[in-house]
Amino acid sequence: YDVKQNIRNVFLAYIELTLKFEHLNNIIGKVKVFIIKDIHKVKKKKRRYINIIDVSVSKF
């Protein structure tokens, strides 16, 4: 019983981690898309570039 419970816990922890990584990848993907869309506006203004990243991350 203990062994089964441990395996289950490990499996659940693994799934949870996988989902967290997937969520992170989604955020990174969305930030990339957001930056690519706005990159032409940003080339002249580096400070704005940082703001875009901050805003994108805080949206999710």
Break the chain into its structural domains and give their ranges.
Answer: 2-59
Mean pLDDT value across the chain:
69
Q: Residue 50 pLDDT more than 80?
A: no
For the cut 70, the answer to whether the pLDDT of residue 28 exceeds it is yes
Instruction: Please report the pLDDT score of residue 9 as a whole number.
Output: 84
Q: CA–CA separation, 8 vs 36, rounded Å?
A: 42
Residues comprising the chain, all counted:
60
Structure confidence at residue 44 (pLDDT): 58
The whole-number pLDDT of residue 37 equals 63
